[in-house]
Amino acid sequence: MKDLTIKTSSSESVIHCGEGVFFRYAPALKGRQLFVVSDSNVLSYHRADLWRALGDDYQIYALSPGEKGKSMRNLISILKAMLDSGMKRSCTVVAFGGGVVGDIAGLAASLYMRGVHVVQIPTTLLAQVDSSVGGKTAIDFGNVKNVIGSFYQPEEVIADPRFLKTLPAREIRCGLGEIVKYGALDGDIYDALMSHSSDLSDLGFLGEITYDCIRHKAAVVAEDEHDLTGRRKTLNLGHTTGHAFELYYGRRSHGECVLAGMYYELYAAEKLGVCGGSYAEGLKTLIRAALGKIPAYDDVASAARLARFDKKNEGDYISVVVPRSKGECTEIKLSFAEYARCLTECAAQLKENQNA
Ligand SMILES: NC(=O)c1ccc[n+]([C@@H]2O[C@H](COP(=O)([O-])OP(=O)(O)OC[C@H]3O[C@@H](n4cnc5c(N)ncnc54)[C@H](O)[C@@H]3O)[C@@H](O)[C@H]2O)c1
Ligand SMILES: [Zn+2]
C-alpha cells in the first residue's frame, strides 16, 4: 500500500494505492452523508464489497454501463436524486466505477451546492491509472466528447487492484494503452514494463505499476492543473492519432486506439529523426505486447483528417507529442499532408510485413 498527495493551488488530493486500500480507507467514510454513483455492471460484481466497507447507510445511483452514461440527462438525474434524498453541502459523492462513473460523478459533485466532497474509487485499470486522478470531470454533449466539464479535484482516490480481477481482457488492454503511454514518458516505468513485457496483463504486476503511473500523472497535474503550460499536454502522447482512429474505425477501445496511435506516431517520429534506435524498438515491443498485432488500417488518410480537429493544433499544423529518448518526449508539428503521408506509409509497411 502506498500513498501520495497532489497539492494544487486550490486543493489537496490524497491517493491511496495498492492491494488492501479499499477495506483500509473506505470504512472511514462511514458516518458521512454519502451519495454513491456507480454502474449496474460494477454493482453486479462488487456491491457486497461496498456494503462491507460502507454499511448500508448511503444513497446509491446506478448508471447503465457504457460511454452513453456520460449524458446531460443522467447528470440532471443525478443532481435531482441528490436533492430529493436531502444531500447537504457537507455530503460526499463516492464515484465507484470506471472512468464514465468517475467523470459524471465528479462533475455532479462540482456543481451540487457549488461543490461538495468527492471520493474516487476507480474499478477499471484505465480509471486507476488515469481518469480518477487529476480532477478533470466531464459529460458528452451534442455528439462532442467531454465538452461540458470542470476541473475539480477529488478529496481522496482509493485505487485497489482487487477490483481488476473481474475486469474483461478488453478493459485490461484499454488500461494498458495508458500504461504504455506512461512508459514512453517516464524512464522508470519504461524499464519496469520492458522487464515484464512477456506478460503485461499479470494482475500482480499491474497492481504495482499503477502506483508509478499515478505518481507520474500526479507530478504533471501538480505542475499544470488546468492544462495551461503545456506540461499536461504530454499526457496526450499517442492520443492525436489514437482519437482519430477511435472516431473513424470505432471498433476498438480507447486504449487500444491509443496504442495503435502511438505506433503510427512513432513511425512519424522515426521518419523525422526525432526518435530511433533500440529505444524506438523497445517501445514497439511494448506496444505489441499490450495490443498484439498492430492494425494495418485501410484508408488511413481519411482517418487522419479527423486529427485536424485535435485541440492541440495551431493553424494548419497537426501537433503530435512523440517520444524522443527514454523519459523524454517532444512536440512535433506536421503539415496535414506530411502527417497523412506518414500514417499511410506506416499502414503500408505494416501490411507488407504482415503479408511477408
Ligand atoms: N477525467 C479524465 O482525466 C479522463 C481520462 C481518461 C479517460 N476519461 C474518460 O473515462 C471514460 C472511460 O473509462 P473506462 O475505460 O473506465 O470505461 P467505463 O467506465 O465505461 O468502464 C468500462 C466497462 O467496464 C465495466 N467495469 C468497470 N469496473 C469493472 C470491474 N471492476 N469489473 C468488471 N467490469 C467493470 C463498466 O461497467 C464498463 O462496462 C471515458 O468516458 C473517458 O472520456 C477521463
Ligand atoms: Zn487516454
Cell of 189: 516505468
| pTM for the structure as a whole | 0.96
CA atoms within 13 A on the CB side of 210: 38
Q: Are strands 59-63 and 34-39 parallel, antiparallel or unpaired?
A: parallel
For residue 182, the 8-state DSSP code is: H
Ligand (nearest to CA of 145): 1
CA angle 242, 248, 250 (to 5 degrees): 80
Comparing CA positions, the residue from 170, 176, 160, 165 lying closest to residue 126 is 176
Q: Does residue 39's CB lie within 6 angstroms of at least one atom of ligand 1? A: yes
Measured in Å, residue 293 CA sits from the centre of ligand 2 at 20
User: Residue 315 has what pLDDT?
Assistant: 74
For residue 67, give the 3-state DSSP assignment: helix
Ligand (nearest to CA of 170): 1
Nearest CA to ligand 1 atom 44: 131
327 burial via Cβ count (<10 Å: 0-12, 13-18, 19+): middle
The number of residues making up the chain comes to 356
User: Residue 318 has what pLDDT?
Assistant: 92
| Bridge partners of residue 14, in order along the sequence | 5, 156
24 burial via Cβ count (<10 Å: 0-12, 13-18, 19+): middle
* Cβ 92 vs Cβ 119: under 8 Å: yes
Which residue among 45, 137, 171, 253 is best mutated to probe the pocket of ligand 1, counting the most ligand atoms within 8 A of its Cβ? 171
Q: What is the C-alpha separation between 69 and 171, in angstroms, rounded?
A: 17
Q: Does residue 127's CB lie within 6 angstroms of at least one atom of ligand 1? A: yes
Q: What is the C-alpha separation between 62 and 123, in angstroms, rounded?
A: 14
Q: Does residue 239's CB lie within 6 angstroms of at least one atom of ligand 1? A: no
User: Residue 354 has what pLDDT?
Assistant: 85
Q: List, in order of start, the domains of the chain with CATH numbers.
A: 2-166 (3.40.50.1970), 169-196+227-355 (1.20.1090.10)
User: Residue 60 has what pLDDT?
Assistant: 98
Measured in Å, residue 254 CA sits from the centre of ligand 2 at 6
| Bridge partners of residue 289, in order along the sequence | none
Q: Does residue 38's CB lie within 6 angstroms of at least one atom of ligand 1? A: no
User: Residue 66 has what pLDDT?
Assistant: 94
Measured in Å, residue 210 CA sits from the centre of ligand 2 at 15
Measured in Å, residue 178 CA sits from the centre of ligand 2 at 6
Measured in Å, residue 320 CA sits from the centre of ligand 2 at 14
Ligand (nearest to CA of 240): 2
Q: What is the C-alpha separation between 262 and 274, in angstroms, rounded?
A: 14
Q: Where are the alpha helices (DSSP H) in the chain?
A: 21-25, 40-54, 72-84, 99-111, 125-126, 169-185, 187-195, 203-223, 239-249, 254-271, 277-291, 300-306, 336-355
Ligand (nearest to CA of 140): 1
Measured in Å, residue 25 CA sits from the centre of ligand 2 at 27
Cell of 219: 507530478
- Dihedral angle computed from the Cα positions of residues 168, 174, 179 and 181, in that order, rounded to the nearest 10 degrees: 170
User: Residue 10 has what pLDDT?
Assistant: 82
Residue ranges, the chain, pLDDT below 50: none
